[in-house]
Amino acid sequence: MTTTHETSHPTDPRPAVRCGIVPPYLLQALASSGEPHLEERARETLRLDQLRYEEHAREHSLRPDGARVSRRANRATTEAPNRVVHDAGGGTTLPGEKVRAEGEPATDDTAVNEAYDGLGATWDLWNAAYGRNSLDDRGLGLVATVHYGTNYDNAFWDGSQMVFGDGDGVVLLGFTRSLDVIGHELAHGVTQYTSGLVYQDQAGALNEHVSDVFGILVKQRALGQSAEESDWLIGAELLGPDVKGVALRSMKEPGTAYDDPRLGKDPQPGHMRDFVDTDDDNGGVHINSGIPNRAFHLVATTLGGNAWERAGAIWYAVITGDIKADCDFATFAALTEAAAVAAHGEDSEEARAVRDAWAQVGVTNETGGAAGGGSEREPAPAPAPTPSPEPEPSPVPAGGEPGLVQVRRTGGFAGQVRERTVRLDELPDDDATAWRTLLASPTLMALAQGRMIPDAFRYGVSCDVPPVDVTIPEPALPEGVRELFDRTLEA
Ligand SMILES: [Zn+2]
């Protein structure tokens, strides 16, 4: 055992995914909301997200298959939180200036104190309720950065630390305001160290679900709320005062969290019959998580009392048990039932509550998994194995118009598909020249050989003359090329 990493940036042991609390479909909606202030802020957030993810992908050898890699040996000698909060001062350099370490008094910066307290409440839940010593059960230090970017509309776990933006101040407020959001992001860290759920399709929706579950449990425990008393809302404190909605997600009633001209309507389903079959958002990970979220809410409220003690303990047993990284809904449901039976018996109140809840959301062995029903869908695209050196045939019939290029962006957390077909001579001269150079060179094909990375945007470029049809994972894109794609999409 020679894992000794003593860098200022903790080394993560698992394939990390960048996990922003605001899915791209919301950011995209803001970016085209017709309000210049919001549009500018949302675009800036999307841009910074992309930069962050590229940087992260370079720093951490992300593995697309979710395979486990060895954990570092840094177990603390005593079990207590070890928090450090930094201030990025509106910049994007992480971790930023250290402003409050463990045991230090509160500062006059609300965001700093909210982050510090939220990290503490999260550590407390995992430790007091489940005997877990931090995210990795080895006393991992909890690192957070506040005031990241300018009016940054997001918060995320980058595989090593928490990052909080201040929001645009109109639709979305400061991201340290919601305790469940802090708990959600840190739970991605726990998943990283435990189940390693792949951030794609049903496993990805379960990854999101697990974060919502333990995020809401952090809030409930900190507030002393029983299952009945909780609002079961994720991100309620983030919405600006005139936003038509109550939160970013509702675990109780998925699909009802907001309906706002700038945000669109909450797209979450609460039943398997409404499962959203999409290639976007890594297979709708932020959308379909509504289905298991509602199941958890049903279990928790059926059992009553403190959800972290009853329903939460069953879920904790599952994520730390014999769960596979590519687990689907039906398998997860079966694992929760098995955990309830193991702890409480076949005919226990717990086992019945779990069985009933999954049945109510339409997840059964017959319909919830790969066997069929609403969840059956094409397998995810293979992680760009060994691409052919030859260009793939273009779907556009031969003889098409020279200089006509289609750019399509999918992926991201839940990103809307953005697509545009342009004539190059409609573009500014510099961009048209850049496109002609790019299309004529082997660059695009080379870039298309980059690995598929969970959570990354994917840019598709197709052109008839010359024949080009490629899909490129965003982290593989040089900044200049990505900016050209984005300008073209927005032109
Ligand atoms: Zn998440």
Which are the catalytic amino acids?
A: 185, 286
> CA 79 to CA 75: how far, in whole Å?
9
Is the same domain home to 275 and 423? no
Question: Which amino acid, one-letter code, is at 275?
Answer: F
pLDDT confidence bin for 4, thresholds 50/70/90: very low
Of 286, 315, 350, the one marking the end of a domain is 286
Sheet architecture: strand order including 418-423: 418-423, 404-411, 457-463, 468-473
Of 286, 317, 334, the one marking the end of a domain is 286
Q: Where is mean pLDDT largest: 36-40, 409-413, 428-432? A: 428-432
CA dihedral 457, 463, 466, 472 (to 10 degrees): 10
**Residue 111 near residue 164, CB atoms below 8 Å:** yes
Rounded to the nearest whole angstrom, what is the distance from the C-alpha of residue 185 to the centroid of ligand 1?
A: 6
**Residue 165 near residue 144, CB atoms below 8 Å:** no
Query: What CATH number does residue 194 fall under?
Result: 3.10.170.10
Question: Which amino acid, one-letter code, is at 312?
Answer: G
Rounded mean pLDDT, 34-59: 66
The three-class DSSP label of residue 406 is: strand
Rounded to the nearest whole angstrom, what is the distance from the C-alpha of residue 180 to the centroid of ligand 1?
A: 11
Q: Where is mean pLDDT largest: 55-59, 201-205, 381-385? A: 201-205
> CA 289 to CA 216: how far, in whole Å?
14
Rounded to the nearest whole angstrom, what is the distance from the C-alpha of residue 362 to the centroid of ligand 1?
A: 23
Q: Does 60 have pLDDT greater than 80?
A: no
Q: Does 149 have pLDDT greater than 80?
A: yes
Rounded mean pLDDT, 437-457: 67
Instruction: Let me know if residue 317 belongs to a domain.
Output: no
Q: Which tops the pLDDT comparison, 39 or 69? A: 39
Instruction: Let me know if residue 364 belongs to a domain.
Output: no
> CA 479 to CA 491: how far, in whole Å?
18
Rounded to the nearest whole angstrom, what is the distance from the C-alpha of residue 244 to the centroid of ligand 1?
A: 22
Residues with CB under 5 A from ligand 1 (ion): 19, 211
Phi, psi of 484 (to 5 degrees): -65, -45
Handedness of CA 196, 202, 204, 210 (dihedral sign): negative
Phi, psi of 351 (to 5 degrees): -65, -40
Sheet architecture: strand order including 19-20: 19-20, 155-157, 162-164, 142-146, 83-87, 97-101
**Residue 94 near residue 146, CB atoms below 8 Å:** no
Question: Which amino acid, one-letter code, is at 449?
Answer: Q
Average the pLDDT over each of 68-72, 162-166, 392-396 and give the range with the smallest value: 68-72
Tell me which residue of 232, 139, 234, 248 sits closest to 179, measured CA to CA. Answer: 234
pLDDT in tens, 352-364: 999 999 999 999 8
Of 263, 286, 309, the one marking the end of a domain is 286
Instruction: Let me know if residue 190 belongs to a domain.
Output: yes
Beta pairing, strands 468-473 & 457-463: antiparallel
- Residue 186 Rama label (left phi>0; alpha psi -120 to 50; beta): alpha
Tell me which residue of 353, 310, 315 sits closest to 336, measured CA to CA. Answer: 315
Predicted pLDDT of residue 476: 62
> CA 247 to CA 151: how far, in whole Å?
19
Residues 6+ apart with CB under 8 A from 322: 335
Neighbouring-strand partners of residue 461: 407, 470
**Residue 238 near residue 169, CB atoms below 8 Å:** no
pLDDT confidence bin for 124, thresholds 50/70/90: very high
Neighbouring-strand partners of residue 249: 234
Is the same domain home to 280 and 420? no
Give the pair of three-digit tokens for residue 6: 């003593």
Say whether the peptide bond before residue 395 is cis (omega within 30 degrees of 0).
Answer: no
**Residue 107 near residue 100, CB atoms below 8 Å:** yes
**Residue 186 near residue 135, CB atoms below 8 Å:** yes
E strands of 254-413, at which residues? 259-260, 264-265, 404-411
Q: Does 44 have pLDDT greater than 80?
A: no
Q: 24-31 and 36-59 helices cross at what angle (nearest 10)?
A: 140
Total domains, the chain: 2
Instruction: Let me know if residue 384 belongs to a domain.
Output: no
Rounded to the nearest whole angstrom, what is the distance from the C-alpha of residue 188 to the centroid of ligand 1?
A: 7
CA 283 remoteness from chain centre: 12
Rounded mean pLDDT, 314-331: 97
Q: Does 474 have pLDDT greater than 90?
A: no
Rounded to the nearest whole angstrom, what is the distance from the C-alpha of residue 414 to the centroid of ligand 1?
A: 11
Instruction: Let me know if residue 329 belongs to a domain.
Output: no
Rounded to the nearest whole angstrom, what is the distance from the C-alpha of residue 173 to the centroid of ligand 1?
A: 18
Predicted pLDDT of residue 400: 53
pLDDT confidence bin for 418, thresholds 50/70/90: low
> CA 308 to CA 218: how far, in whole Å?
8
Instruction: Let me know if residue 470 belongs to a domain.
Output: yes
pLDDT in tens, 239-271: 999 999 999 999 999 999 999 988 889 999 999
> CA 96 to CA 111: how far, in whole Å?
14
Neighbouring-strand partners of residue 225: none
Rounded to the nearest whole angstrom, what is the distance from the C-alpha of residue 19 to the centroid of ligand 1?
A: 5
Q: Mean pLDDT for the chain? A: 80
Give the pair of three-digit tokens for residue 423: 């004539």
Domain that residue 225 falls in:
19-286
Distances (CA, A) of 268 to 229, 250, 255, 294: 23, 9, 4, 10
Tell me which residue of 33, 276, 272, 26 sits closest to 153, measured CA to CA. Answer: 26
**Residue 133 near residue 79, CB atoms below 8 Å:** yes
Give the pair of three-digit tokens for residue 43: 């675009």
CA dihedral 222, 224, 227, 228 (to 10 degrees): -130
Is the same domain home to 34 and 164? yes
Buried b (16+ CB within 10 A) or exposed e, 357-377: bbeebbbbeebbbeeebbbeb
Predicted pLDDT of residue 485: 86
The DSSP output letter for 239 is: B
Instruction: Let me know if residue 207 belongs to a domain.
Output: yes
Q: Where is mean pLDDT largest: 24-33, 110-119, 233-242? A: 110-119
Instruction: Let me know if residue 432 belongs to a domain.
Output: yes
**Residue position matching structure tokens 């600006």:** 240
